[in-house]
Amino acid sequence: MKYFRNITLLLGFIYVTSATKLKNTYNGRNENRTFPPEFLFGVATSAFQVEGGWNQGGRGWSMWDYEIKTDPGYISDGSKYEVAADSYNQYKRDVGLLKELGVNVYRFSLSWPRILPLGTPDYVNPEGIAYYNKLIDELLANGITPMITIYHWDLPLRLAELGGWLNEDIATWLGDYARVVYQNFGDRVKTWLTINEPFILCSLGYAFGTHAPRVISPGEDFYECGRNVLLAHARMYHIYHDEFKSQGGKVAVIISCDMALPLTDSLDDAEAAEDYFAFTLGQYAHPIFSPQGNYPQRLIDRVSRASSLQGYKQSRLRPFTPEQINYIRGTSDFFGLNSYSSYYVYRNDSLKERFAAPSFEDDMYIGTYTAPEWAIETSSWMYRYAPGLYNLLVYLKKVYNDPVIYITENGSSDKMGFYDEEKIAYYRGYLNAVLDAIDDGVDVRMYTAWSLMDTFEWNHGYSMRMGLYEMDIEDPNRPVFPRKSALVYKEIIRSRVIDPDYNPEPNDL
Ligand code: NOJ
């Protein structure tokens, strides 16, 4: 979200102090609160970010392999992805770490090109299937529940060449791939996450062009991508419930959303917050979770108005047919939420030059501001403001009729070394915000920390370290070491209490 329009810092500073006080109602209401006994704790990774083994075991190319290998300057810190955390070869080490932490759940993703090297099920790679069978069995043997993301951004190159997320056939491709996955693993895996973070997938991949396939089309392809994501997700959901119901599992999409706090009490800023939600959350969540289905009216109206002022004959947001609205509505068995940051949002006269070029940011027409004290030293885009998560969870309860929520990602980066105090403060604050939300009746049932170990952070390489375990990327064996945050998280899972005074040292694991 760093791409959003900048505001003059002075303006923000004047308002922010009072706004902070208003919202800061969370945390430590009752120091000794415990997480409910059925509440689940997990950690997450994704295939491209940890597996390595890029040319092992018959894996095909993904669009990320192509972008990285054809542009030596693409990854900001020049780091390599080919071995990553070497989880393809060291999955037993990974399960050992999970066991050490005591997590209930491990969220990982399947590499589509490892299972279907050309993207389609004409050829199913037996070595790919065997790898995931071994990982799933090892998890279950250690009492850890697998929770699988089917699509976490590593589109097979061949399908990217056929248009990727801009080709409506992607719903067929993903559905066919999902069927192979349910057939092979569904006897043991009962929680399926179809597609990771539609907004980030479509904004970074098709609007700003920082993620593969690096398309820059913020006013058109951005919306087409989102539309196809919804159709593909719905197909994956229906295939499971039509053909594999007897497996008895659950299927959900993962929506990413950060909190939008109106900068002032003005009506304009309240509207700005609603527009922020309509574009970044509602665009994907409304068609699935709202009783009537379809895009939020606010999104439809804003894009249509801007399109017509720009001389388009039709809205750049292509409407769904009534059949498509029905097909998508209700296709998620719970709400999978990834959330990291918060923004103050506003709309006022300082926002000028509207409609310079078609862009969803112009369509949305808001400004954002982050308070200086939210900054995280090691990240350019992430902000720590735990009350934001509380407010977001309460908002989701209200807007989407009290859904069951699994937090499928949350966490922060920190500098290298054992003492990752900033990350610990992040986890403690955000977990307290989860407890506050539970206190207020939000049905949150799972918290998943990102991530187990340092992962390849897409175009940022290894410049952002988010692991509970630090990994030595210079050593070919990729040794991992617990950070202080790993010990703190382990203790929270064990005791089910967030003890602010627990202060472990390196030997305490
Ligand atoms: C979003 C993505 O799901 C994951 O791949 C990424 O590494 C983290 N959040 C942190 O940026």
Predicted pLDDT at 27 = 55
Ligand 1 mean position, distance from CA 450 (Å): 8
pLDDT at 7: 39
- Which tokens sit at 47? 């295939």
Answer for the pair 287, 320: CB distance below 8 angstroms, yes or no: yes
Give the per-residue pLDDT at 229: 99
Closest CA to ligand 1's atom 9: 409
Alpha-carbon gap, residue 215 to 222, rounded angstroms: 9
The pLDDT of residue 388 is 98
**Ligand 1 binding pocket includes 450 (Cβ within 6 Å):** yes
Cβ(409) – ligand 1 distance below 6 Å: yes
d(CA 418, CA 404): 35
pLDDT (0 to 100) of residue 31: 61
| pLDDT averaged over 10-residue windows placed end to end, the chain, 509 residues | 39 39 46 90 99 98 98 96 98 98 99 98 98 99 99 98 98 99 99 99 98 98 99 99 98 98 97 98 98 98 94 97 98 98 93 78 95 96 97 98 98 98 98 97 98 98 97 98 98 97 90
Query: What pLDDT digit, counting tens, does each position of 15-71 carry?
Result: 443 343 333 444 555 567 999 999 999 999 999 999 999 999 999 999 999 999 999
Q: Say how many Å lie between the CA of residue 34 and the centre of ligand 1.
A: 28
**CA of residue 423 to ligand 1 center, whole Å:** 15
CATH code assigned to 2-497: 3.20.20.80
Stated pTM of the model? 0.94
Which ligand 1 atom sits closest to the C-alpha of 197?
3
Give the Cα separation of 444 and 48 in Å (integer). Answer: 28
Distance CA 301, CA 307 (A): 10
Q: Which residues pair with 148 in a beta bridge?
A: 108, 192
User: Tell me, what's the pLDDT at 353?
Assistant: 63
Which atom belonging to ligand 1 lies closest to the Cα atom of 153? 5
Helices (H) and strands (E) in the chain, counts: 18, 13
Cα(237) to centroid of ligand 1, in Å? 23
Asked whether 396 and 335 are in contact (CB, 8 A), the reply is yes
Instruction: Tell the residue nearest (CA) to atom 6 of ligand 1.
Output: 457
Q: What ligand 1 atom has the least distance to the C-alpha of 455?
A: 7
In ligand 1, the atom with minimum distance to the C-alpha of 458 is 7
Residue 416: what pLDDT?
A: 97
Closest alpha carbon to 60 in 105, 108, 125: 125
**CA distance to 193, 288, 306, 327, per residue, from 331 (Å):** 12, 6, 30, 8
Contact 12, 391 (CB under 8 A): no
149 in contact with ligand 1, CB cutoff 6 A: no
Residue 2 confidence (pLDDT): 38
**What are the catalytic residues?**
197, 409
Q: Is 197 in the pocket of ligand 1 (CB under 6 A)?
A: yes
Which sequence spans correspond to the domains of the chain?
2-497
**Concatenated DSSP letters of 59-85:** ---BHHHHHHHH-TT-STT----SSTT
**Could you tell me if the CB of 196 is within 6 A of ligand 1?**
yes
Produce one character per residue of 175-192: b if its CB has 16 or more CB atoms within 10 Å, e if not: bbbbbbbbebbbeebebb
457 lines ligand 1 (CB under 6 A): yes
Beta-carbon contacts of residue 353 (< 8 Å; ≥ 6 apart): none
Distance from the CA of 479 to the center of ligand 1, in angstroms?
22
Q: Given this model, what pLDDT does residue 88 score? A: 98
